[in-house]
Structure 1
Amino acid sequence: MMYHDTYWNMGIMWVIWLPIMVFCFIFLFRFFVKSNTNTFSEKESPLEILKRRYANGELSTAEFEERKKILGDN
């Protein structure tokens, strides 16, 4: 009977520890994936994109002002 109890206890331990390990793995995976995402992945407004492109030097001042007027922000 002693061996039967030992195997039963080992089975119960797997039932308890396996979900805990899976939860920890999922938590750590999401934490590290979220920390490596691009900072611009959130929805940016068109004006924010325009300002970012102007700040990066992709647009001249004239292009920036023209596109800003088109967007309707004076």
Structure 2
Amino acid sequence: MNYYDGSFGGMHLIWWILWFFFIAWIFFIPADIPYQKSKKESPLDILKKRFAQGEISKEEFNEAKTIINSAT
């Protein structure tokens, strides 16, 4: 006796939903490790990096540093 009558079936639908969420989770998880906070660079850190790379002069660095320190 065969109990399959050609209908989609409730349990079959649940498994397809679970598979869909599993596949979506694999493709849409963040690239970084969960619960690991990435360090945000402060404006002063960015300024120091630009000065070290030679993008700005010493005068520009000191002027921007003064502005940043007065804002905080």
What TM-score comes out, normalization by structure 1 length? Answer: 0.54
Q: Which position in structure 1 is the counterpart of 2:31?
A: 35
CA-atom RMSD in angstroms: 3.2
Q: Which runs of 5+ in 1 are unaligned?
A: 37-41
Cα separation, 2, equivalents of 1:48 and 1:56: 12
- The counterpart of 1:18, out of the listed 16, 19, 25, is 16
- Name whichever structure is richer in helix by fraction: 1
- Mapped pair 1:66 → 2:63: yes
Aligned-partner residue type, residue 60 of structure 1? S
Shift of 1:69: 0.8
Cα separation, 2, equivalents of 1:23 and 1:61: 54
Q: Which runs of 5+ in 2 are unaligned?
A: 33-38
What TM-score comes out, normalization by structure 2 length? Answer: 0.55
Cα separation, 1, equivalents of 2:26 and 2:50: 34
Shift of 1:44: 4.3
